[in-house]
């Protein structure tokens, strides 16, 4: 019996050793086989960010004008001349202009029916200042007691204006809505022309940011005012109009019209 057990053990030992050898060989082979690496498809390269040359207007902005315009604060000035105009029903029903002897100042204007008014820095051109000062001198404005209102006629349906001058301790305010006195009419027309220019700039700056398709109509309106002589000293507008004509935020039709207006102004001043 013992001999049979020994023989069985002796017979099983090589089998066990062979099995272990196969197992080791199998392990070695498995270890030698490189593991399969699962690689995901390469992520597409991010598209370059498109940089818009002009900022998008901020939502909820009331007047829509570019922020840069807000930083164009006027130099310090002491008002010498003040003009006001009021006429409910006009596009801009209330206007106030104030400036010093060098034309530095500010303009306020309010759309008809609106609660909010807008204001912008103002620089009256040298040519316009010469025209205004000549009219004031001819009227002897500060020392005169003359009433410039056309006698017996009330044209308040065309708007009421007031003009104040304060200089060297003297101050005088006059009010009228129509006149046949030439220097007084020059003042009335010139200040209206100054306000026309200022409101044009305000409208075109707001529209080119928020509603560029409105700019051709605004330029057309300017062309009408230029042809009627309702813009003061048109040549001084040329640098600004030239800048607008090269601004690609404006539709081509508006830029082409601006180019024509510049040519007309240059032709008229020769």
Predicted pLDDT at 109? 94
Percent of the chain scoring above 70 in pLDDT = 72
Confirm whether 60 is domain-assigned.
no
pLDDT tens for each residue of 203-255: 999 999 999 999 999 999 999 999 999 999 999 999 999 999 999 999 999 99
The predicted pLDDT at position 53 comes to: 29
Count of CA atoms in the C-beta half-sphere (13 A) of 182: 4
β-pairing verdict for 104-111 and 118-123: antiparallel
Cα→Cα distances 105→75, 141, 149, 241, 258, Å:
8, 20, 27, 21, 27
What CATH number did the domain enclosing 160 receive? 3.30.1560
| pLDDT for 199 beyond 70 | yes
Residue 176 lies in a domain: yes
Residue 102 lies inside a defined structural domain of this protein:
yes
Within a domain: 71: yes
**Could you read off the pLDDT of 91-118 as tens digits, one per residue?**
999 999 999 999 999 999 999 989 889 9
d(CA 110, CA 216): 23
CB distance 107 to 195 below 8 Å = yes
What is the pLDDT, as a whole number, of residue 75?
A: 65
pLDDT at 125 > cutoff 90: yes
Pairing of strands 92-99, 81-86: antiparallel
Q: How many domains does the chain have?
A: 1
Under 8 Å between Cβ of 107 and 89: no
The residue among 191, 214, 172 whose CA lies nearest residue 64 is 214
- If we measure between CA atoms, which residue out of 90, 172, 104, 96 comes closest to residue 139? 172
- Helices first, then strands: H and E counts in the chain: 7, 6
Q: Confirm whether 59 is domain-assigned.
A: no
Q: Is residue 141 part of a domain?
A: yes
- For residue 237, the 8-state DSSP code is G
Q: Is residue 101 part of a domain?
A: yes
Residue 73: domain span: 67-184
Number of neighbouring beta carbons within 10 Å of residue 264: 14
| 233 in a structural domain | no
- Residue pair 234/242 in contact by the 8 Å Cβ criterion: no
Judged against a pLDDT cut of 80, whether residue 71 lies above it is answered with: no
């Amino acid at each position: 019996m013992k001999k049979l057990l020994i023989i069985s053990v002796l017979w099983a030992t090589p089998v066990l050793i062979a099995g272990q050898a196969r197992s080791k060989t199998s392990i070695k082979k498995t270890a030698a086989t490189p593991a399969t690496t699962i690689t995901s498809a390469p992520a597409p390269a991010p598209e370059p960010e498109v940089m818009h040359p002009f900022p998008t207007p901020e939502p909820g902005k009331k007047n829509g004008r570019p922020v840069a315009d807000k930083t164009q604060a006027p130099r310090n000035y002491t008002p010498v001349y003040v003009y006001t105009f009021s006429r409910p029903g006009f596009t801009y029903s209330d206007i106030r202009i104030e400036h010093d002897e060098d034309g530095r100042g500010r303009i306020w204007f309010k759309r008809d029916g609106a609660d909010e008014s807008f204001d912008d820095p103002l620089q009256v051109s040298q040519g316009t200042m010469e025209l205004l000062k000549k009219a004031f001198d001819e009227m002897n404005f500060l020392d005169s007691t003359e009433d410039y209102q056309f006698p017996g006629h009330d044209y308040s349906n065309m708007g009421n204006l007031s003009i104040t001058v304060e200089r060297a301790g003297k101050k005088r305010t006059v009010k009228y809505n129509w006149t046949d006195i030439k220097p007084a009419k020059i003042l009335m027309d010139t200040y209206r022309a100054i306000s026309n220019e200022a409101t044009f700039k305000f409208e075109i700056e707001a529209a080119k940011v928020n509603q560029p398709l409105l700019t051709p109509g605004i330029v057309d309106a300017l062309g009408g005012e230029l042809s009627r002589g309702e813009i003061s000293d048109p040549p001084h507008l040329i640098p600004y109009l030239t800048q607008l004509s090269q601004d690609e935020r404006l539709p081509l039709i508006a830029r082409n019209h601006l180019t024509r207006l510049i040519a007309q102004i240059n032709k008229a001043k020769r």
